Chain A
Amino acid sequence: MLKRFTPLLGAALILLSAIPSFAAELVVYSARGEHLIKPLFDAYTAKTGVEIKYVTDKEAVLLERLKSEGERTPADMLITVDAGNLWLAGEAGVIQPVQSPILEANIPVHLRDPQNRWYGLSLRARTIVYNTDKVKPADLSTYAALSGPEWKNRLVLRTSKKVYNQSLVASLIAEHGESEAEKIVSGWVANTPVAPFSNDTKAMEAVAAGIGDVTIVNTYYFGRLKNEKPETPLAIFWPDQQGAGVHVNVSGAGITTHAKHKEEAVKLLEWLSSEDAQKVFASLNMEFPANPAVPADPLVASWGSFKASTLNVAKYGEYQAQAIKLMDRVGYK
């Protein structure tokens, strides 16, 4: 019997010892899906000849992986979505400060880490979408106003478990203070006709079907839905134009603390903030370019211009845990 297992054991040992080599190429850990980063990497490789290897996974898992790999990590760069995750990576010490005049010129101050450990690369605006048959834009004003009694049974929400909503609530805490934010969120919850949905698209579809009249979503989901079903009676409203501005989140990147190819990785990061890359970045997922010199995709631009919040996105990370506890307290599922 044991004899039979010997070849298996042998095979296992060979597999174990198949040492991966990390020669002259960059390694990226990415929480953005392959289809949203590969075109960029391909373009960079075509331009410079630098090969880029990558793995994709959830942000928290990549972070844990970086932590346990320690100084032997093969990763040179970490790309994540959501500022909260970037902030956490910075706090955990797995990414390092990078001084680069190019990055500083390309990326506005509020979209990067105050300590320069990470830089936002694309912007995601989380805004109000309403049913054009039932709501006039004049009825809408701010995120906070949606907690008013006139919106009873009219507000559809996405789950509080999604980081986009956690960041939105974090920004409310930063702007209004915790007790005021709690009032706003509990007002939202009181106004929902149905349990929160698991994704933005479902929330918008519910509004289009006549369940509730408004919802809060990321604009690219709106773009996708409109692309698919142009007749859907939905439109975008930019809230808080008299106040702080539209809530924006970033996806961004940093250089790992133990990067083996720091210089090369910084060059890649700089290129990602450049005009060439930003165009690709913005058009891949209908996001807004983080580099203000680069115009948005024509489709995205057609939704109209707006004032975006200039609160430093690092705050979303600082207040995220507080935001989640707040949402638990008011019963936001």
Chain B
Amino acid sequence: MPVTSSAQSATGGLCPPAYTPAVHRISGWQSAALCLAALASVPLLVLLASFLTPEREIWHHLSEHVLTGLATNTLTLLLCVLPLTALLGVGLAWLTGACEYPGRNFFTWALTLPFAIPPYVFAFVYLGFFDFSGPVQTLLRTWFPSMEFIEVRNVFGVSAILSLAFYPYVYLLCRSAFLTQGRTAMEAARTLGLSPWKAFFKVSLPMARPWIAAGLMLVCMESLADFGAVAIFNYDTFTTAIYKAWFGLFSLKAASQLSSLLVLFVLIILTIEQHLRNRLRFTQAGRNSGKGHRMQLTGFAAWGAFCLSALVFTLAFALPCLQLAAWAWKAFSPEILRYAELAQNTLTLGLITALATTAASVMLAYARRTAPGRTMNWATRAATLGYAMPGTVLAVGVFIPAAWLDNTMLDMVAHLTGWELGPFIQGSLGLLITAYAIRFLAAGFGSADSAMQRITPSVIEAARTLGCHGTALLRRIYLPMTRTGLFTAAILVLVDVMKEMPVTLMMRPFGWDTLAVKIYEFTSEGEWEQAAIPALFLILAGLVPVILLTRKTESR
């Protein structure tokens, strides 16, 4: 995206790369970040280790009959989902963050709600609704008996579902960007004679680029790793092939090898994206003046904004919830009381992981900020790749080394002392949370990192001049100034963990069943209506943090 000189002079914030803190030796923060990256790369290494024994026969079969189709399908999916989520996410974030129109107060938080709905739930609800035998087509056929059947299980159908499920990533991140962008930049641009639209495209949008990029990266990785939604639509992607190689051809090795192709692909995108982004600096111009300074939309524009928001809200939240409620009503049973306990487990796991992952994200982002350069760039990339791996593969990638470590230690203890102890890494909450953190570090890091990039170098320099260094700098400058971003990071992780299924299934300690586990058990038997009850509980539990997030960011 070209950044014009007028925008640069207007914001004063988009300055060329001039700021490089003079830190040369590796600090404590950096070594901590490197350790973190090493830990997070463990599943990646397990994947790579699969290449030690190539599965030639399976690869031959795959490359002959399967791979081309998969690559085309997967790319087409991305090419549909990314623009659509960008349009929805950025557009709505801009409307609610920077404009004033009827219903804005409601939509500003309501549009984040779809985030609480897992993509696989979207998929089964919408397929139930729009497929041949669903109410929509049945009704259409009663009205127009000569009507042909409409096939919705194609790339457009899947893309629509994934976009509805994933746009909140972009929306949440961009909203915090537009909210904290500061009025000054926009005002300056307007004073210099730019129309509101031009000001948006030339000033606001370029300034929000780190957030947009971070959001879209998450969407990209989520789409690549998604299994549930594409499986329900029977749309073949790399992920479905990975599962088939493992569950059907009985080759975890082939599955790992396929997964590493996926990871390689993401690594390439990440590198390109960072390369493009690193040439620009994004900092906050002027003080953020927040509320009451939004652009007042009137007439057609105002109603257009209202209708668009209402449409997205209906499609992405109201409709699926109504359908789930209808199913849940039919499948109601006294067992429902148990779901409260499952919801509690779900929230507890989410909260602990959100705290841990946000802390880790801050560590990584801070280390990268204070020592920009190749090492830290690679470290952060390695640390965040877990997001792009299909959940089940990642779960195995964590479990195998954990079990090995456990067994080795217990063997040693038994050898040295003769005590036969039980395993204490496997089946522990600690392992589960570590696995979650590896999976969701990207979600936390994206938000924390974008927020840190926005801090004006001069502020840091001023603080340094005043004798503020190291931990104090983080505590007194970085953390307060990135509060919104960090809160977003925590909520993203919290809700992501709540929706997470494969890692939870494999590593939950006895008795720690969650709502997602329950949904899995029902959907794997094709019992959608039964699954509606835990799905509703999951959405309800997810609403609390999502609403908290909007209130918190709105009130600053």
> Which listed segment binds B: A57-65, A235-243, A302-310?
A57-65
- Answer whether residue A179 sits at the interface, using C-beta atoms and an 8 A cutoff: no
A65 to B232, CA, bound (A): 26
Name the residue of chain A whose CB is nearest to the CB of B333. Answer: A35
B203 to chain A, nearest CB (A): 35
> Contacting chain B: which of A180-188, A289-297, A323-331?
A323-331
Contacts A15-B433, A161-B231, A325-B61 given; does A205 touch B133 at CB 8 Å: yes
Q: How large is the interface on A (under 10, 10 to 19, 20 to 34, 35 or more residues)?
A: 35 or more
Interface pair A64/B399, CB less than 8 Å apart: yes
In the complex, which residue of chain A has the Cβ closest to the Cβ of B133?
A: A205
Q: Report whether over half of chain A's contact residues are helix, strand or loop; otherwise say mixed.
A: helix
User: What are the residues of chain B within 8 A of A271 when measuring CB–CB?
Assistant: none
Give the CA-CA distance A332 to B528 in the complex, in Å: 25
The answer, among A13, A159, A200, for a CB contact under 8 Å with B234, is A159
Q: Would you call B149 and A211 a contact (CB within 8 A)?
A: yes
Other-chain contact of B513, A12, A34, A88, A161 (Cβ < 8 Å): A34
Determine how close the nearest CB of chain B comes to the CB of A82; give it in whole angstroms: 10
A201, B359: Cβ atoms closer than 8 Å: no
A163 at interface, CB cutoff 8 A: yes
B372 at the binding interface (Cβ < 8 Å): no
8 Å CB contacts to B: which residues of A8-23? 8, 12-13, 15-22
Contact of A60 among B127, B233, B247, B530 (CB under 8 A): B247
How distant is B504 from chain A, measured CB to nearest CB, in Å? 10
Which of A21, A88, A194 is close to B250, meaning CB atoms less than 8 Å apart? A88
Question: Are A5 and B359 in touch, CB under 8 angstroms?
Answer: yes
Given A33-B524, A194-B151, A328-B65, A20-B422 contact (CB < 8 Å): yes
Among A33, A199, A201, A285, point to the contact of B521 (Cβ < 8 A): A33
Judging by beta carbons under 8 Å apart, are A56 and B421 in contact? no
CA distance A55 to B509 in the complex (A): 9
Q: Report whether A20 and B525 are in contact in the complex, using a CB–CB cutoff of 8 Å.
A: no
The CA of A2 and the CA of B359, in the complex, are separated in Å by 11
Decide: A1 and B248 in contact? CB cutoff 8 A. Answer: no
* Nearest CB in chain A: distance from B397 CB, A: 10
**Who on chain B is nearest to A159 by CB?**
B234
Q: Is A196 positioned at the interface, with any CB of B under 8 Å from its CB?
A: yes
Asked if B429 and A57 sit within 8 Å, CB to CB, the answer is no
With A and B bound together, what is the CA distance between A16 and B511 in angstroms? 16
B249→A324 contact, CB < 8 A: yes
Interface status of A267 (Cβ within 8 A of chain B): no
Partner of B475, one of A1, A64, A320: A1
Instruction: Report the separation of the CA atoms of residues A202 and B527 in the bound assembly, to the nearest whole angstrom.
Output: 11
Report Cα–Cα, A199/B71, bound state, in Å.
Answer: 24
Chain A residue contacts of B359, Cβ below 8 A: 5, 8
- Tell me the complex Cα distance, A291–B61, Å: 40
**A18 x B428 contact (CB < 8 A):** yes
CB-CB < 8 A to A64: which residues of B?
252, 396, 399-400
A195 adjacent to B234 (CB under 8 Å): yes
Complex interface residues of chain A between 48 and 86 (CB less than 8 A to chain B): 53, 55-61, 64-65, 68-70, 72, 74
Q: Mask for B406-441, Cβ within 8 A of A = 1, else 0?
A: 110010000000000111111111110100000000
Check B395 for interface membership: any CB of A closer than 8 A.
Answer: yes
| Partner of A8 from B355, B410, B508 at Cβ < 8 Å | B355
In the complex, what distance in Å separates the CA atom of A36 from the CA atom of B474?
Answer: 52
A209 within 8 A of B: yes
Contacts of B510 in A (CB 8 A): 20, 27, 53, 55
Nearest A residue to B404, CB-CB? A68
Contact A324 B248 (CB under 8 A): yes
On whether the beta carbons of A195 and B424 are closer than 8 Å, the reply is no
Q: Considering the chains assembled together, what is the distance between the CA atoms of A234 and B385 in angstroms?
A: 48
- Complex CA–CA separation, A331 to B137 (angstroms): 28
Residues of chain B lying within 8 A (CB to CB) of residue A195: 151, 153, 234
Contacts of A1 in B (CB 8 A): 471, 474-475
Q: Nearest Cβ distance between residue B361 and chain A, in whole angstroms?
A: 13
Contact with A along B222-254 (1 / 0, CB 8 A): 000000000111101000100110111110100
> A202-B127, A324-B249 given as contacts; is B423 within 8 A of A58 (CB)?
no
Q: Give the CA-CA distance A203 to B547 in the complex, in Å.
A: 39
Interface pair B233/A72, CB less than 8 Å apart: no
| Chain B neighbourhood of A27, CB < 8 A | 510
- Any chain A CB within 8 A of the CB of B110? no
Evaluate whether A56 and B521 lie within 8 angstroms (CB atoms) in the complex, with A18-B428, A70-B403, A74-B427 already known: yes
Q: Does A197 contact B (CB under 8 A)?
A: yes
Q: Which of A17, A58, A196 contacts B424 (CB 8 A)?
A: A17
Residues of chain A whose beta carbon lies under 8 Å from any beta carbon of chain B: 1-2, 5, 8, 12-13, 15-22, 27, 33-36, 53, 55-61, 64-65, 68-70, 72, 74, 88, 159, 161, 163, 166, 194-202, 205-206, 208-209, 211, 221, 224, 285, 320-321, 324-325, 328-329, 333
Identify 9 new A-B residue pairs, CB closer than 8 A, beyond the known A34-B518, A61-B506, A200-B526.
Answer: A15-B429, A20-B423, A33-B521, A53-B511, A198-B232, A198-B234, A201-B526, A206-B132, A209-B132
3 smallest CB-CB distances across A and B, nearest first, come from A33-B521, A16-B430, A205-B133
Name 29 interchain pairs, CB-CB below 8 A, sorted by A: A8-B359, A13-B430, A16-B429, A19-B421, A20-B509, A27-B510, A53-B511, A55-B508, A57-B505, A58-B392, A59-B247, A61-B392, A64-B399, A68-B403, A72-B406, A161-B234, A161-B248, A163-B247, A195-B234, A198-B234, A205-B131, A205-B132, A206-B133, A209-B138, A285-B525, A324-B244, A328-B61, A328-B66, A333-B234
